[in-house]
Amino acid sequence: MVLVVSLALIAAGPTATYHGTGTVLALLPPPSDLHATRPVIVIEHEPIRGLMVERMTMPFIAASTTLFNGLHPGDRISFDLEDTPGALLVVTIERLAPPR
């Protein structure tokens, strides 16, 4: 059984992780107009190396609403995305100091 699980993990391949920075535009706990059961964060982000070459405004599904603790629209953030089946999932968020 361990061999079968190990082979399944190898076949699935590693999960791609990307790092970005941007500004929070909206925090949408579920349910929302964008997703019925998952939290969504809307970010105006800088280009994301290896993923997106342009600055964009996009909604992303968040791994948990606890990532939203202490965040407000307008906050500058650093975030990590995991490329999961069906969605880019925000897995970490760090609030950045405001620009000087």
DSSP 61-81: EES-GGGGTT--TT-EEEEEE
Lowest mean pLDDT: which of 8-12, 35-39, 65-69, 78-82?
8-12
Report whether pLDDT(7) > 60. no
HSE-CB for 25 with a 13 A CA cutoff:
10
Structure tokens at 82: 């995991």
Report whether pLDDT(34) > 90. yes
Give the mean pLDDT of 63-68: 96
Q: Any bridge partners for residue 81, and if so which?
A: 18, 90
Q: Where along the chain do its domains lie?
A: 16-95
CATH number, domain 16-95, options 3.50.50.60, 2.60.40.1120, 2.60.40.1930, 2.40.50.320: 2.40.50.320
Report whether pLDDT(21) > 60. yes
Report whether pLDDT(75) > 70. yes
Helix (H, G, I), strand (E, B) or coil at 2: helix
